[in-house]
Amino acid sequence: MLRIGVIGCGAIGRDHMRRLRDLVPDATVTACSDYFPESAKLAAKQYDIPHVYDTGEELIESAEVEAVLIASSDASHAGYVLACIRQGKPVFCEKPLAQTSADCEKIIEAEMSGGKRLVQVGFMRRYDPGYREMKRIVQSGELGNPLMIHAVHRNMHQPDGLTSEMGVSNIAIHELDICRWLLDDEYKNGQVLKVRQSSYSVKGYDNPQIVLLETGMGCRIDVEVQLSDGYGYDIQCQVVCEKGTVSLPDPYAVVTRSEAGRIMPILTDWSQRFIQAYDIELNEWVQAVKNNGGYGPGSWDGYAACVAADTLNRSRNTGRFMEIQMMPKPDLYADGSN
Amino acid sequence: MLRIGVIGCGAIGRDHMRRLRDLVPDATVTACSDYFPESAKLAAKQYDIPHVYDTGEELIESAEVEAVLIASSDASHAGYVLACIRQGKPVFCEKPLAQTSADCEKIIEAEMSGGKRLVQVGFMRRYDPGYREMKRIVQSGELGNPLMIHAVHRNMHQPDGLTSEMGVSNIAIHELDICRWLLDDEYKNGQVLKVRQSSYSVKGYDNPQIVLLETGMGCRIDVEVQLSDGYGYDIQCQVVCEKGTVSLPDPYAVVTRSEAGRIMPILTDWSQRFIQAYDIELNEWVQAVKNNGGYGPGSWDGYAACVAADTLNRSRNTGRFMEIQMMPKPDLYADGSN
Amino acid sequence: MLRIGVIGCGAIGRDHMRRLRDLVPDATVTACSDYFPESAKLAAKQYDIPHVYDTGEELIESAEVEAVLIASSDASHAGYVLACIRQGKPVFCEKPLAQTSADCEKIIEAEMSGGKRLVQVGFMRRYDPGYREMKRIVQSGELGNPLMIHAVHRNMHQPDGLTSEMGVSNIAIHELDICRWLLDDEYKNGQVLKVRQSSYSVKGYDNPQIVLLETGMGCRIDVEVQLSDGYGYDIQCQVVCEKGTVSLPDPYAVVTRSEAGRIMPILTDWSQRFIQAYDIELNEWVQAVKNNGGYGPGSWDGYAACVAADTLNRSRNTGRFMEIQMMPKPDLYADGSN
Amino acid sequence: MLRIGVIGCGAIGRDHMRRLRDLVPDATVTACSDYFPESAKLAAKQYDIPHVYDTGEELIESAEVEAVLIASSDASHAGYVLACIRQGKPVFCEKPLAQTSADCEKIIEAEMSGGKRLVQVGFMRRYDPGYREMKRIVQSGELGNPLMIHAVHRNMHQPDGLTSEMGVSNIAIHELDICRWLLDDEYKNGQVLKVRQSSYSVKGYDNPQIVLLETGMGCRIDVEVQLSDGYGYDIQCQVVCEKGTVSLPDPYAVVTRSEAGRIMPILTDWSQRFIQAYDIELNEWVQAVKNNGGYGPGSWDGYAACVAADTLNRSRNTGRFMEIQMMPKPDLYADGSN
């Protein structure tokens, strides 16, 4: 039984507690903590968690805790991850890994100095069977080299406080990760385009936005991002290769024919779309911790997404492709992840 | 210019006049007649038709008329067709060819005595590009032998006066024709099943109905028939072969995504579904008349559909498969049609 | 921790062991047995099962075992189920519940004399999200009453020893269960039709077959069954209601466009199709055992499927619909299952 | 009978002759000419065309000719169109209207000085039922304002002599026209992106290319262009509106299931894709000539596409959006076309 401590007892943290308890064998949630101590106590009660700590740091240092899952607020991620590395404890950190590329670099340096991978970032789409099959086909070479990706990320709802920049750093970040993973390539440049704005979504941030990227191999990526007020939660992705294309399927959904229409429902809430991916993700992470290897997306991937997001946000309104400058890839991450 | 006389100036007759005038080269409507003389005069005015006759018989006998198109009431079809054969004039007769198999047999005898084909029946689905491609694939043998057909015929509206029997003889008759054409086989037996009735469609006739057929080769066919009050006009057909299936496509229609649904509209009116088939049908018929050969579905096909429909209607409520007994196929029709 | 004993350590039994170990919380496999003792020992070793018994009866009677899962050969099911009932232990029995309706009736009587439900039958499709959504829509009444079901069950491979009758009692049995569950209705009559046989599948049994059923409310069901040698493992189901239809979706699968075709892969192995359903099934069964209620398909459902299959097999080659005669439904099963 | 003269007796010219003869009522091809006189004579013989002229100019000036259809080489278009305007004769010119925007401006000036529209350009996609339905939906406002278009234009084959620039001016030109028509808006800026090149298509021109455009209202358009060596001839277009999207359907094609795949064929040749659009286009043009109004895409549309293509080609390899500068729209074209 891997004893896991969970930092952050909000909706996502509690969903992971349920998942670890109900669906992940060989793991147990032994401890939790939250910025609001009352939340931690409530979660502990609901999920029979024996240890509650006042701070994430105490949880990380506790001898009861063998591995850590971070689901706290974005701003706290980097600090907790560094604390885990100092303790030599494996850590699963919800995206983003950090809010600045400087913090991501610190994490990479810390992890490198320990000489082994400890960090996994919660880019759960890599565990979705559709994306995995797409990657398998692209890698197999049966369609030739990949040349382009057309992607769409449409949302209905967002919590308050969203900004134009978060449209890239918190929403399109999933595409920033999945596209470089699908193509097995790093980004060379990119820009964010402003689009005619939706009059149904006047909230102080740019909506929609278009993200353009070019990879080292010259692959081009376009991502349409509807931050909110779309017709549903709809994720689309097509990889265009030399000899054909492969597309992410619409989710499994019954089709009705009625009132002179053939209708397939579209999800309205992101939490339903990648449920299976979340389940597989935590199962595989627990196995990786136990095997001391075979981790999914790590610090390097968190860093790559962060640098791309930062650069894209700086490019906004310039009309220019801006160079995405990354440090050389350390050997520690050379084998590729996932 | 093939000079055609049209008998019957109702909606279908006038639609054929428009088609012959606007879309069929080398043909002109030279004459028309109708049971209601006023209708004939109106149509003649609308479509610049020089000759109007008081009766169909006069039209058929007129030296102005080289070929005849019959779009009058069902009960009048057989008599007009026989008159055309007597005059040795090619005739295109809307379905049904006749209302009894005895009348169909008379037509076959008359046509045989003339020694050449003169009659084409308006089974327009044989000209639909979808059904034609299905037939091409079945005949090619690439999927092995055909074994079954699953078909669906759903309607929204019917004119007054419909009966349970007409659900087979006037509605499912299109499937009776198209299935034996797709399979290149005759029917051996069949029955009509009554189904739980739709409470939204209480009109004095059985709705829905299911038609079951077996062919000489042992192929099984099921046809779901919604006579009226369906969600749209929806025609589906799948041929199941030894190594795979081939299906009629839904009509070409834009797909929208909105309000949490992916929606493809379904037609509501039969007249839109096979427009292209009607156009091709009349074009090819005019060419066949000119070439004195190469006709589409003929008297034998009208007879086969009629015998099957009669037998099916007699089987209603018996719970038994009833033998479908046809005369031997005359050599005149041996080469297959269409 | 619910301590479960598994009888039968073949492929399906071991798959359930893996599932109970890895995916079902609050349950553990405490014991196993097999007709071949060596198989039981191997499985015990692979899955860390502490107790191995020489016979299923010993396992059932053991104080270590709180609930039993039966995955042994079909012929042994009824005896083990009855032994479980005698011990008052909850039992999950893979389909079929028994090989004769007489044995099913014995099980029902035994369960009734105990006064509470103990038996669940492994009709896993009821746990598939697609079928569940179909049932939700049918029950909601939004499409009006259900009138018909068109179903297809196509296989590629079968183990040796299959017979024509098993095409109904072991293969179409899934449709026999799911259709009465979708319609919430019992069968009134049915027949099996022989179809033109596939020349690619000459194995001593009828292939394909068509199953026709009528329910008490008059709903009609047709099931095309390809026992083997089909183009894939393909399960299709459409419920036709008064105001529209609802269809089981094709499984979630990426779509490629290449070589002038748009291609969606079809599964070739049944074990992949309902993986998620199996997972949910066992999870919910364990919860039902713990809650002493809320079971899925039970003895009555096993009996209903068995009576229908028997009657259908007797109807083979008669060309007649044969009455499906069931005992009155005992109150114990009145609340409906699942 | 509208007497039409056809200039250019190559494949496209002869296809239009066939169409005018067989499918367009009230029109006849009275004359033809070709750069190679022998070609004109052959076509005249094949299509029973009474008059053959040595030059296009003679044809245009002939009293036999009431309206002109230009299907000659691209470089000759502008000169013939101007000659037609001088004669006051309606002219249908295959795209492009001219090879430079200066020539397009001359045509606009000439047409304006005559005070009425005479020119229609062969942007046939505007007559495709799919695009028309998309436009109807966008214009209806039911999906809110249009914000973006994602388009794809993939080809298998090209004649010799293709250049990178022609990828925009001769291939993507169809999207340049259809997108501004769908959005009812003019272009503000654009650029062509070079993409990782296909190793299966090394022919001296950039392949694939991506075209980016922004309209006056701020709508963004991306067009993926595979000039050749694609998996098929595949045209896709999605308009993204505030409240939903609408997409061009795949062409009507039967679906097969075999060998563990569901397969829909994709066309391989452009000539099949828009057959119906060509037919409707010429029919409506002939009606417009007769009605002296109601023309489809005209000089302004040819000019707009030409200016956009020129600007896009100048932007190539600059990494910048380049302003697309058009003259003010003359009143003559104010009512919108088509």
* A156 at interface of D, judged by CB pairs closer than 8 A: no
Fill in the DSSP letter of residue C102. H
To test the contact with chain C by mutation, choose from D257, D259, D267, D270 the residue with the greatest count of C C-beta atoms within 10 A, namely D257
Could D266 and C261 be called an inter-chain contact, meaning their C-beta atoms sit closer than 8 Å? yes
The tens digit of pLDDT for each residue in D119-143 reads 999 999 999 999 999 999 999 999 9
Kindly list the partner chains of chain B, i.e. chains with 3 or more CB atom pairs below 8 Å.
A, C, D
The whole-angstrom separation of Cα A220 and Cα A218 is: 6
What pLDDT is attached to residue C198?
95
* Pair type for strands C2-7 and C67-70: parallel
Q: Are D277 and D125 within 8 A, CB to CB?
A: yes
* D36 at interface of A, judged by CB pairs closer than 8 A: no
Chain B residues inside the 8 Å CB shell of D134 = 254
Residue at token pair 């009824």: C78
Tell the CATH topology of C2-121: Rossmann fold (3.40.50)
The whole-angstrom separation of Cα C325 and Cα C308 is: 8
End-to-end CA distance of chain B: 23
Chain B residues inside the 8 Å CB shell of C323 = none
The whole-angstrom separation of Cα D108 and Cα A76 is: 64
What pLDDT is attached to residue B124?
97
Could C268 and D259 be called an inter-chain contact, meaning their C-beta atoms sit closer than 8 Å? no
* Pair type for strands A2-7 and A27-33: parallel
Chain A residues inside the 8 Å CB shell of D220 = 193, 195-196, 210
Higher pLDDT, D271 or B133: B133
Pull the structure tokens for residue D14: 């002869």
Tell the CATH topology of A2-124: Rossmann fold (3.40.50)
Confidence of residue A246 (pLDDT cuts 50, 70, 90): very high
What pLDDT is attached to residue C338?
46
pLDDT in tens, chain C (338 residues): 899 999 999 999 999 999 999 888 889 999 999 999 999 999 999 999 999 999 999 999 999 999 999 999 999 999 999 999 999 999 999 999 999 999 999 999 999 999 999 999 999 999 999 999 999 999 999 999 999 999 999 999 999 999 999 999 999 999 999 999 999 999 999 999 999 999 999 999 999 999 999 999 999 999 999 999 999 999 999 999 999 999 999 998 999 999 999 999 999 988 889 999 999 999 999 999 999 999 999 999 999 999 999 999 999 999 999 999 999 999 999 875 44
What pLDDT is attached to residue D270?
85
To test the contact with chain B by mutation, choose from D26, D256, D263 the residue with the greatest count of B C-beta atoms within 10 A, namely D256
Q: Domains of chain C: which residue ranges?
A: 2-121, 128-269+297-328
Could B252 and D129 be called an inter-chain contact, meaning their C-beta atoms sit closer than 8 Å? yes
Q: How many CA atoms lie within 13 Å of D228's alpha carbon, on the beta-carbon side?
A: 19
Instruction: Select from B156, B250, B257 the Cβ nearest to the Cβ of A266.
Output: B257
Q: Say if residue A193's pLDDT is above 60.
A: yes
Could C210 and B198 be called an inter-chain contact, meaning their C-beta atoms sit closer than 8 Å? no
The CATH code of domain A126-269+297-333 reads 3.30.360.10
What pLDDT is attached to residue B336?
59
For residue D231, the distance in angstroms to the closest alpha carbon of chain A comes to: 6
What pLDDT is attached to residue A338?
46
* Pair type for strands B261-265 and B322-323: unpaired
The whole-angstrom separation of Cα C232 and Cα D257 is: 9
What pLDDT is attached to residue D334?
86
Q: Give the CATH superfamily of C128-269+297-328.
A: Dihydrodipicolinate Reductase; domain 2 (3.30.360.10)
Which residues on neighbouring strands pair with residue A255, listed in sequence order? Answer: C247
Could D265 and C263 be called an inter-chain contact, meaning their C-beta atoms sit closer than 8 Å? no
The tens digit of pLDDT for each residue in A98-153 reads 999 999 999 999 999 999 999 999 999 999 999 999 999 999 999 999 999 999 99
Could A261 and B258 be called an inter-chain contact, meaning their C-beta atoms sit closer than 8 Å? no
Could D244 and A222 be called an inter-chain contact, meaning their C-beta atoms sit closer than 8 Å? no
What pLDDT is attached to residue C189?
98
For residue B20, the distance in angstroms to the closest alpha carbon of chain C comes to: 36
State the ipTM, two decimals: 0.95
Nearest chain A residue to B261 by CA distance is A265
Residues 6+ positions from B38 with CB-CB distance below 8 Å: none
Q: Are B41 and B29 within 8 A, CB to CB?
A: no
The crossing angle, in degrees rounded to 10, of helices A101-114 and A77-87 is 10
Report the pLDDT averaged over residues A78-96: 97
Helix (H) / strand (E) element for D91: namely strand D91-93
The tens digit of pLDDT for each residue in B190-215 reads 999 999 999 999 999 999 999 999 99
Nearest alpha-carbon partner for D26 in A133, B313, A277, B28:
B28
Nearest chain C residue to A256 by CA distance is C246
To test the contact with chain B by mutation, choose from D133, D252, D266, D272 the residue with the greatest count of B C-beta atoms within 10 A, namely D252
Taking a contact as any Cβ pair under 8 Å apart, which residues of chain A between 37 and 96 contact chain B? none
What pLDDT is attached to residue A336?
59
Chain C residues inside the 8 Å CB shell of B152 = 150
Instruction: Select from D194, D214, D224 the Cβ nearest to the Cβ of A240.
Output: D224
Could A244 and C253 be called an inter-chain contact, meaning their C-beta atoms sit closer than 8 Å? no
Confidence of residue B223 (pLDDT cuts 50, 70, 90): very high
Helix (H) / strand (E) element for C148: namely strand C146-154
Could D266 and C250 be called an inter-chain contact, meaning their C-beta atoms sit closer than 8 Å? no
Residues of chain D with pLDDT under 50: 337-338
* D141 at interface of B, judged by CB pairs closer than 8 A: no
Could B265 and A266 be called an inter-chain contact, meaning their C-beta atoms sit closer than 8 Å? no
For residue A225, the distance in angstroms to the closest alpha carbon of chain B comes to: 16
CB atoms within 10 A of CB A11: 10
Residue at token pair 């109905």: B209
Confidence of residue A33 (pLDDT cuts 50, 70, 90): very high
Sign of the alpha-carbon torsion through C80, C86, C92, C93: positive
The whole-angstrom separation of Cα A128 and Cα B202 is: 49
Taking a contact as any Cβ pair under 8 Å apart, which residues of chain C between 309 and 338 contact chain B? 319-321
* C249 at interface of D, judged by CB pairs closer than 8 A: no
Instruction: Select from C257, C260, C268 the Cβ nearest to the Cβ of D268.
Output: C260
Report the pLDDT averaged over residues A42-69: 97
* D245 at interface of B, judged by CB pairs closer than 8 A: yes
Pull the structure tokens for residue A54: 């006042």
Could A147 and D196 be called an inter-chain contact, meaning their C-beta atoms sit closer than 8 Å? yes
Confidence of residue B25 (pLDDT cuts 50, 70, 90): confident
Q: How many CA atoms lie within 13 Å of A17's alpha carbon, on the beta-carbon side?
A: 26
The whole-angstrom separation of Cα A169 and Cα A163 is: 10
Type of residue numbered B160: D
* D258 at interface of C, judged by CB pairs closer than 8 A: yes
To test the contact with chain A by mutation, choose from B262, B268, B269 the residue with the greatest count of A C-beta atoms within 10 A, namely B262
* CA C62 to the chain's CA centroid: 27
Report CA-CA distances (Å) from A300 to A188, A329, C105, D95. 16, 8, 64, 51
* A249 at interface of C, judged by CB pairs closer than 8 A: yes
* C197 at interface of B, judged by CB pairs closer than 8 A: yes
Q: Are A118 and A85 within 8 A, CB to CB?
A: yes
For residue D254, the distance in angstroms to the closest alpha carbon of chain C comes to: 11
* CA C299 to the chain's CA centroid: 12
Chain A residues inside the 8 Å CB shell of C276 = 276
Chain B residues inside the 8 Å CB shell of C244 = 231
* B268 at interface of A, judged by CB pairs closer than 8 A: yes
Pull the structure tokens for residue C298: 């039970």
Could D257 and C266 be called an inter-chain contact, meaning their C-beta atoms sit closer than 8 Å? yes
What pLDDT is attached to residue B313?
98
The tens digit of pLDDT for each residue in A289-323 reads 999 999 999 999 999 999 999 999 999 999 999 99
The CATH code of domain B129-271+298-333 reads 3.30.360.10
What pLDDT is attached to residue D22?
85
Task: Return the CATH number of D128-269+298-330, one of 3.40.50.2020, 3.40.50.300, 3.50.50.60, 3.30.360.10.
Answer: 3.30.360.10
Chain B residues inside the 8 Å CB shell of D255 = 246-247, 249
In DSSP notation, D284-317 reads HHHHHHHHT----S-HHHHHHHHHHHHHHHHHTT
* C262 at interface of B, judged by CB pairs closer than 8 A: no
* C195 at interface of B, judged by CB pairs closer than 8 A: yes
Report the pLDDT averaged over residues A228-253: 96
Q: Are B235 and B248 within 8 A, CB to CB?
A: yes
